[in-house]
Amino acid sequence: MIKDLYKEGYTQNRELSWLGFDDRVLQEANAPEVPLLERLKFISIYASNLNEFFMIRVGSLTQVKQIKIDQIDNKSGLTAAEQLKLIYKAVGTSIRKRDHIYQKVLKEAAKKGIICLSLNDCSKRELKHLNKYFDAKIKPLLSPQIVDLYHPFPNLRNGAVEVAGMAMKKGQTVFAVVTIPSTLSSVIALPSDGKAKIRYVHMEDLIQYAFPRLFPGFKIKDTAKIVVMRNEDVNADDDAFDDIVDYRKKMRKVLNQRQHLSPVALFASAHMSSEMKKYLLQHLGLEAKQMYVTSYPLDARFGFELPEMFDEADEDLFPPYAPKLSASLNYHQKLFPQICRHDVLLSYPYESMEPLLLLVKEAADDPSVVSIKITIYRLAKQAKLVEYLCRAAENGKEVVTLIELKARFDEQVNIDYSQRLEEAGCTVLYGFSEYKVHSKILLITRSVKNRIQQVAQIATGNFNEKTAKQYTDLAYFTADSGIVKDAEAFFRNMMVGKLDGHYRHLLVAPVSLKSSLLQMIDREIAKKEKGRILIKINSITDEELIAKLSQASQAGVQIQMIVRGICCLIPQIKGKTENIEIRSIVGRYLEHSRIYLFGTARSEKMYISSADFMTRNTEKRVEIACPIMDTEIRRRIDSYLQLCLEDTVKARRVGKDGKYHRIASDQSIDSQDWMMQETKGSHQHLQASDGRQAKVIGVFHTTYSPKKKNKKA
């Protein structure tokens, strides 16, 4: 740790940077070039990010404050209490901004026939329809509760939308509440009136409207919609779970325990009596500054569920785009031998994950394949990959799956998959007690006439078929002898719990990744003005890496960074970071790829990785950075990075104030749109992994030229 880094004047607080990025997401919700329904999605992304922020970061800071640890943030010099004070204020301002943008979008939507109704605005006919719908489809799923001498205050579930009210009976006032099940949709479409595109009401509004019917015999004084956010900062390594031997059981207990941790915030609808507010704050142990009143729906799924009610070609949605199959492979032939002959790069979501699935399916049925080894962090809820891994095990292959049960918010999904894989005969490992396994690596081994053939795939993102269509990531397939030997050693080390293994080519955290990055920065520092560093990551918080990059800047090294989210490094500070330029891209897809580039020409070193420049990645996780060996693939990635740096539409420049600023340019270049438009190649048919016929359309085989203006869809 660098002592008193904040005194250097080129760093900012992590939590406030996170909130600054959330504000950047809101900019997309307010961007006129973004289709109307997509703007609602960005507001929901903001809401989801804010919920996660309270559960993880505010929860952790609250604990530090409560146990009175004498600890300050090394990037801002703030104590936990001081950080919380600034957070509460910043969130209040941000929510007011969010509500203003939401009301603006609602008005624009109404002009286009997308009409949100309150129950008071519904006609008698519509109310009759909704009442029938409530009685038949909703009421049987609800469990209303009251709080009195015999009914204690309930444990309001973390993140669940509740409708609460004060109820009177025989002169006594009690608290009444009902939880809205997550199985219910967030919106209800009303019968067409023949004029509007859609008229709809929110599920939470309907349940609030029908609330008195859930408490017969009581007079309801007032009602409100609420959401309690709880601290989720508990993990399986806590002493409370030491008596549990089975790791899956331990994780199930952790998930249950999280529902009972201390509240850290209360979100409420715009109308709430002072009596109910006082009652809730008292029983939840919260202060007034921890309560936020909003006009936005409390169910954050709304912004995604409403657009799903429209045809995908609707003008108020992004134009449909289907990932294309890479033209680097011939799908009428086996894939494994082709990868043995030449490396392959897939660029998600512009290219499909289908080749990976085809490769694993092919390996599952190939008599010569002896083993498949893979690390799993996040999977789609319906994962064909798991089916093929199970199939391989059932066909007698050795299948080793290192599945991380501590992947936050995906714990239950991974617990379920681990059991399924184990039942199919796979060897299932759970990682390490203090280190999450976040690496994305696959190794397939064949034995042909006593000759071993191996292919590895190393990626920047998860083996997740859903997010591969939503996140920008790179997946590198290679049979390079040095890399596959390192991959083999990696899995061998993981199986025996060895974290300090030696690798010739792969950089592996927690041992060699950070030290290697520092050494490569030092090599550029030695070149002074001739040095070059180009980094694309999601976040940067690691103090040593920040200090080293500042040192490089002071030596004259030109540093360009594309940092999507949290950025504790402030660029353009004279004498400190003036040679560092930082941009952030937020667009239709979530920028997720991590790419490290050091040097130029023959001295250039390029890596793709699963790791951000965060201490949790460099010191507390098992991560991998893989060198790109193939010259043509390096050229393609170089071109892609240049395109990102030329973006003038969705990119923002991080200023010396730490905030995001628009980029002035006479060109309109949208890097994500450019990638979607640059599709070309032969159209051929193949049998896809799910048995359907699909077309092969090559993509990403042209290179971006700064002189080439962006094409518009």
The DSSP output letter for 54 is I
Residue 72 backbone phi and psi in degrees, to 5? -120, 155
Contact assessment for residue 638 and residue 534, using Cβ atoms and an 8 Å cutoff: no
In the three-class reduction of DSSP (H, G, I as helix; E, B as strand; rest coil), residue 53 is classed as helix
Contact 357, 388 (CB under 8 A): yes
* Pairwise CA distance, residues 568 & 546, whole Å: 8
**Other beta carbons less than 10 A from residue 675's beta carbon:** 22
Neighbours of 37 (CB within 10 A): 23
112: which DSSP letter? T
Q: How many helices (H) and strands (E) does the chain have?
A: 19, 29
Compute the distance between CA of residue 84 and CA of residue 576 in angstroms, rounded to an integer.
28
Buried b or exposed e, range 253-268, using 16+ CB within 10 angstroms:
ebeebbeebebbbbbb
Residue 91's nearest CA partner among 291, 296, 302 is 291
**Angle formed by the axes of helices 543-554 and 513-527, nearest 10°:** 10
- The secondary structure of 560-590 as a DSSP string is EEEE-S-B-BPP--TTTTTTEEEEEE-SSSE
DSSP 624-637: EEEE---HHHHHHH
Query: Which residue type, as a one-letter code, is found at position 492?
Result: R
For residue 207, give every residue at least 6 positions away whose Cβ sits within 8 Å of its Cβ, in sequence order, or none: 134, 138, 142, 163, 178, 180
The full length of the chain comes to 713
Q: Which long-range contacts (CB under 8 A, 24 or more apart) does 424-427 make?
A: 424/389, 424/390, 424/391, 424/393, 424/394, 424/399, 425/390, 425/393, 425/394, 425/399, 426/389, 426/390, 426/393, 426/399, 426/400, 426/401, 427/398, 427/399, 427/400, 427/401, 427/495
Catalytic residue among 129, 260, 438, 685: 438
Is-catalytic flag, 661? no
**Counting Cβ atoms within 10 Å, is residue 693 exposed (0-12), middle (13-18) or buried (19+)?**
exposed
- C-alpha 120: how far from its chain's center? 37
Contact by Cβ (8 Å): 362, 387: no
Q: Which residues pair with 458 in a beta bridge?
A: 441, 476
**276-306 as b/e, with b when 16 or more CB fall inside 10 Å?**
bbebbbeebebeeebbbbbebbbbbbbbebb
Phi first, then psi: what are they for 403, rounded to 5°? -110, 130
CA neighbor of 577 nearest in space, from 593, 589, 559: 559
Give me the active site residues, please.
438
